[in-house]
A and B are shown apart, each in its own frame.
Chain A
Amino acid sequence: MNFGIHPLLLVTFFPLVGVLVILFLKTQQKKAIRWTALATSLVTFGISLWVLAQFQPGTAGMQLELRVPWLRLDGLAIDFYLGVDGLSILMVLLTALLTPIAILSTWSAVEDRVKGFMVFFLLLEVGMTGVFLALDLVLFYVFWEFTLIPMYFLIGIWGGERRIYAAVKFFLFTMAGSLLMLLAILVIGFQTGTFAWSDLLEKRELFAAAQTWLFLAFGLAFAIKVPMFPLHTWLPDAHVEAPTAGSVILAGVLLKMGAYGFLRFNLPLFPDATVRFAPYMAILAIIGILYGAAVSLAQKDMKKLVAYSSVSHLGFVVLGTFALTTQSVSGSVLQMVNHGLSTGALFLIVGMLYERRHTREMSAFGGVWKVLPIMGALMLVVTLSSMGLPGLNGFVGEFTILLGTFGSKVLGSPWFAGVATLGVILAAVYLLVMFEKVFLGPVKVEANLALKDLNVREIITLVPLLILIFWIGLYPQPFFNLINPSVENLVSMVSSALLAAH
């Protein structure tokens, strides 16, 4: 099966078709606009499955490569270079899955300027998919920066009260990191004459001398995006102010761009620096895990709680990445997916509650399960998944990460994993406290008695996530099969540097 267009090109740019159609619709035709956006994102999801069907799980290298010269000028070669491997395939699928879900969640939540909202949302999908598929540093940078613009508008126009502050902060923080990355990209390009990822791997000796600085420049951009402690301060603002769909995508996909960046660029391109910095990165990750969890404990606002829990969860991802064992890195990649699923679902449910009561304060709820039995049940599953209950997806990811970290030679101490495990316990505390305050006990506030339970559309938005939560929790092997070959390859690339160092 082939539509005459390269599958990666199609999966990246298909949302533009929807954008084009929406631009020709009238502002008043809200229904048509919503359906167009949904249909486009569903087709994109279909295309991503088609990409998956063509993907060979057993191979470690890049697949379905597409490489076209984009710019050629004296000593400068920029390619339009896309490719997919085990690190990115799941990210692409996650993006394609979460976008229609997020769009569906806005059906009644976004009434104002629907046209602009959907245009930005689909543009955002183009940018995100592009980030995960781009293999030329300049192209990557273009997509990376491009994702900023639609997200900036989503927060700034459709966000809460302090939306402008949050939007600008989000933009400036990310931009600050990426500008240094641009400088590093220019330096690499100057020293090697190419920006293509695969060529750079072969020529990495050429810029080995500047590894430390390059690692830090790339690392800063990615660390801000993840976000790692102490660069996380934009995240709670952005999350709290963003509309629900924006939060879902922000937590579900945008943060993963940072973690993915580490895996795609920092580890293979700067292996010596990676090994050298790994313990420090791991320490920062662990601080992030504990700090995020501790701050979550103190939150009264549900959305803020979930936002800070992201800092904590993403800490595990970074820890696994820099533990540099096959197990821990695979766990990280899977945990990126898991976090997208369960935090996405958490944000969706918080958003649904907000739509009903126009508050996110936990004190305004209590005993809601009695009124909203379906939502309560779904929320319980999602909460348990997020805190890592065995049998659900979160456990698989975190357990693999911790196991891998425990035996990590690079970190060289079991304490890393030991301390990080505290984060799992804390997660159970704050998530269960939230669940208890909101859903259990007697109904304290009268306004809550009249709440309506989930309608069919809302259930449809949550079901795909729940299916995957169970699937990954019970039978993760197919996912690991996709991830593992590329991860093994990556880890062997880095550990050859480790051997050389010792």
Chain B
Amino acid sequence: MTQADFYSILPILTILLWALLLLLADLWIPKERKSMTALLAAIGLAVGVGLSLSQIGQTALTFKGMLMLDSFAVFLNIIYLVSGILAIALSYDYLKRMGIERGEYYVLMMFSIAGMMLLSQAYNLIVVFLAIEFLSIPLYIMAGFARPRLESEEAALKYFLLGTFSSGFLLYGIALIFGATKTIGLEGILASLNGGEANLVLFIAGAALMLVGFGFKVAVAPFHEWAPDVYQGSPTPASAFMAVSVKAAGFAVLLRIFLTAFPSLAQQLMPVVWGVAALTMVVGNVLAINQTNLKRLLAYSSIAHAGYLMMAFVSASNPNQTGQAVSSMLYYLVAYGLTTFGAWAVVVSLEQAEGKGLDLDDYAGVGQKYPWLGAAMLVFMLSLSGIPLTIGFWGKFFLFRTTVQAGFTGLALVGLLTSLISVYYYLRVVVYMFMRPGEPRVRRDSWLSLVVVGAALAVVLLSVLPSRLLEMAAQAVLRLQ
């Protein structure tokens, strides 16, 4: 391992080592003081953010072409790390009051983040597979962490079964591609494709299988069925974490592989991806209309947003728009992530033991009794539906702009019409909060409030001054061959 190799995985190594040490240290932390573990985990992630920030602007192909450090990967790593910190802030009080506080929770989360970071740097299909498993397995456990609540068990099992099933697709796809190109490195695959040595039939079959595998991970239709059940059953902070970072990780690797290694294929797969994007937007938004459980509603909303993110993937198939598609997708991920974390934080603060306090009816009167919490949720709902003066508006704006410029006005139209549907169910939450009388019970916790207020402020302020973040996203464009 050269120094460059070492440096390129320094943040990942740090998180991993920190997690392992924390696992040991946790043994000596008394049961009633597990918040220590949470704090230590958060510090570890913060160190990771610092190290990742120091990598900004660097590009390095390391480990003999197995890993790629570029600003795309760094940008995403920071997203994962920050979302980890936010998830810890949500979990801090939640685990305690639900009686499921155990130190392993935080360690598992760190492992999962390390897996995601590895995934964003993966430049070899085996590393991709390894990283995906690495990030998923801790999540299966986290989903079932609310043991012995049946719903949580169910979530864990469903997630595990479908997750492994999709990994099977992925692995089979990788095998076929290896068969077609005699290599698993992304650069080698590209060279073999360009050289005309690859067996195209095998190759396309492999790529399609991989698409299915990733489709499961990011929960796009028709592979989305698991998401609502899993998000509903898992401990709420874990659902928030999954809804943001797993989605980001899935889309990151999708872009990386399909744009770096299969650029010529992007054109051929485009109609399929187009269909998947449109279907996901329609299915996610339409099914969300009837949800009365907030966790399920946010789950369907996250499916719908996966559809919007798919739009960027479609646009990226136009060679002139690839850079812009990537940057608008990164921007959308940040906008979606911030907003989603805020919304889940509100859900956490209203949730009661035994899965109570999650119904729309439980939100009645929040706006009147807790005006600031209500206002924050209003901001999040508006942002998720893409209404101006929220960061969600700019997210949609850039995404639709890219889609229009890449020549997919029809898809943009589908996106716009489905976001009209989304306005309806997001507003329903607002209706309950502000226009119906009720006696809501809200849990007050300073970390939670910090996330809610911080996210709401960020959502609004970043919309007034959108350029800085957008420039960052634009600089994080992935290195293309």
Binding site for B on A (CB under 8 A): 70-74, 76, 113, 116, 138, 141-143, 145-146, 148-149, 152-153, 156-157, 163-164, 167-168, 171-172, 175-176, 179-180, 182-183, 186-187, 189-190
Contacts and interface: CB of A to CB of B under 8 A. Distances in A.
A183 B371 contact: no
A157 B419 CA distance: 24
A176 B423 CA distance: 10
A175 B435 contact: no
B427 A171 contact: yes
A175 B418 CA distance: 12
A181 B224 CA distance: 31
In the A-B complex, list the 8 residue pairs whose CB atoms are closest, starting with the nearest. A142-B388, A179-B416, A145-B388, A156-B435, A186-B404, A71-B467, A186-B401, A190-B405
A146 B416 contact: no
B260 interface: no
A167 B428 CA distance: 11
Contact of B404 (A113, A157, A187): A187
Contact of A183 (B404, B435, B474): B404
Contacts of A153: 434
A183 B413 contact: yes
A146 B412 contact: no
Interface in B365-403: 368, 371, 382, 387-389, 393, 397, 400-401
B474 A164 contact: no
B369 to A, nearest CB: 11
B467 A72 contact: yes
A176 B324 contact: no
Contact of A175 (B393, B412, B423, B436): B423
Interface residues of B, number: 32
A146 B423 contact: no
Given A149-B387, A175-B423, A183 B400 contact: yes
Contacts of A176: 420
B355 interface: no
Given A73-B467, A190-B404, A172 B431 contact: no
A163 B435 contact: yes
B74 interface: no
A73 B401 CA distance: 13
Interface string B434-468: 11100000000000000000000000000000110
Nearest to B435: A156
Contact of B387 (A145, A180, A183): A145
B417 interface: yes
Given A138-B397, A187-B409, 14 more contacts: A71-B467, A73-B474, A76-B401, A143-B388, A145-B387, A146-B388, A148-B387, A157-B435, A163-B435, A167-B431, A179-B420, A182-B416, A183-B404, A183-B416
Contacts of A186: 397, 400-401, 404, 412
B467 A164 contact: no
Contacts of B387: 145-146, 148-149
A116 B430 CA distance: 14
B6 interface: no
Nearest to A168: B427
B361 to A, nearest CB: 14
Given A72-B467, A74-B474, A146-B388, A179 B431 contact: no
A164 B436 CA distance: 9
Contacts of B388: 141-143, 145-146
Contacts of A172: 420, 423-424
Contacts of B207: none
Contacts of A143: 388
B420 A175 contact: yes
Interface string B309-337: 00000000000000010000000000000
B242 to A, nearest CB: 29
B470 interface: yes
Contacts of A156: 431, 434-435
A156 B378 CA distance: 14
A497 B477 CA distance: 44
A142 B416 contact: no
Contacts of B419: 179
A142 B474 CA distance: 23
Contacts of A145: 387-388, 393
A117 B373 CA distance: 18
A141 B400 CA distance: 15
A111 to B, nearest CB: 14
Contact of A149 (B382, B424, B435): B382
Contacts of A189: 401
B225 interface: no
A194 to B, nearest CB: 13
A182 B387 CA distance: 11
A256 B328 CA distance: 35
Nearest to A145: B388
Given A73-B467, A146-B388, A149-B387, A182 B400 contact: yes
A187 B401 CA distance: 8
Most buried by B among A71, A141, A172, A186: A186
